[in-house]
Amino acid sequence: MGQRLASYRDNLEALGRRNRRRGLRDRAGHDFASNDYLGLASSPELAEAAHAALARGVPVGAAGSRLLRGNHFEHEALEEEAATFFGARRCLFFGSGYDANLTLFSTLPQTGDLVVYDELSHASTREGLRLGRAEVRSARHNDVEDVEAGIKAWRAGGGRGTPWVAVESLYSMDGDLAPLRDLLTVVESHDGFLVVDEAHATGVLGPGGRGLAAAFEGREAVLTVHTCGKALGVSGALVAADGVLIDFLVNRARPFIYATAPSPLTAAVVRAALQLIEAQPERRGRLHALVQHAREGLRSRLGLDGGGAQILPVVLGDDARALRAALELEAAGFDCRAIRPPTVPEGTARLRIAITLNVDEGAISGLIDALARPGLALAA
């Protein structure tokens, strides 16, 4: 290996010694790892929607940015229908949730503004803030008082801009919910904005699967991000906000302006996914029943209470221990991945159990039996 590659090799070897080197693996076993909560990704309904879109001439590629020739009817139809579905003023479609968060936070908060973000916010939010112009402060997880204290301290220090608060409605690694109503009260009392990443709630939680911020959607102070690659089963993301902010993104957001537009075919299939979410509420009912079954099993067999959502963490602490447990579960036929720092805080490596409609009660019971088996790395 040439000297030019040595530092990269050494870095990878250091990750390996710390049990943090990652690699790509094929899918195998019962699905307790994906975010396909409603089982739509491989559904015949979405496959048929893709076939129908191709048959009516929807192109696979956009062939340009949306400000050039890449804009397509399917993009605009999706944005209009999504705004109606979520109760938002306007929506703008992005290629991924990462792109949406990076673009939003690097573009909308201005010089002189403050962004207070929850310490467990997604990497895409942090990267957008790193690229942005605003002052940035973190707040303790789900601590409304700490959020407000950060805003007050900034004001006391001479801050005169607009405060922004960034949270997730359902946290992807802990499975707990943000206190959105209290956070909105703080934001509105300081004439600011609340940005809610609904990635893991869209399609699953809230009235009709519209997310946990549905009661506040459409307010001038509220922006939401609805990911299309999790419960909706496709890909992309929608930023929902006041029309002035959407137009500002179209005119000022470099990742939007200078990138090839998302596939019009993808937009067409996301439209179908939103229609399915509305037409088939029984999917959410089945998912919630499976979540309850999993929670009861984890509580009775392992003494764990993972909260009320479809993400159930089993925190093990040590990286190597989490890896061993995941490998043993894989050998038993269960795909349940180990999550390690920096994705989660130091000392909180875990198994992240995601409940989806790709499994049934029998598979869930089998997973819990495997977790409770004597000798599994779950044991200290």
Which residues are annotated as catalytic?
35, 122, 168, 172, 197, 200, 230
How many Cβ atoms sit within 10 Å of the Cβ of residue 8?
A: 10
In angstroms, rounded to a whole number, what is the distance separating the alpha carbons of residues 35 and 159? 40
Whole-angstrom CA distances from 75 to 60, 262, 269, 318 are: 12, 8, 11, 45
* Dihedral sign (CA 281, 171, 118, 237): negative
Pairing of strands 114-118, 163-168: parallel
Nearest to 366 by CA among 337, 339, 330, 333: 333
Instruction: Give the Å distances, CA to CA, from 290 to 123, 152, 359.
Output: 29, 43, 9
- Measured CA to CA, the distance from residue 362 to residue 78 in angstroms comes to 37
Helices (H), 230-331: 243-252, 254-257, 264-279, 282-302, 319-331
The token duo for 288 is 């919630």
Helix axis angle for 44-55 and 264-279, nearest 10°, is: 140
Q: Which two tokens stand for residue 255?
A: 């990742």
Angle between helices 361-372 and 282-302 (to 10 degrees): 20
| Residue 321 DSSP one-character state | H
Integer distance in angstroms from the first to the last C-alpha of the chain? 40
CA separation for the pair 138, 142 (Å, rounded): 11
Parallel/antiparallel/unpaired status of strands 193-197 and 222-227: parallel
* HEC assignment per residue over 83-102: HHHHCCCEEEEECCHHHHHH
- Phi first, then psi: what are they for 170, rounded to 5°? -130, 120
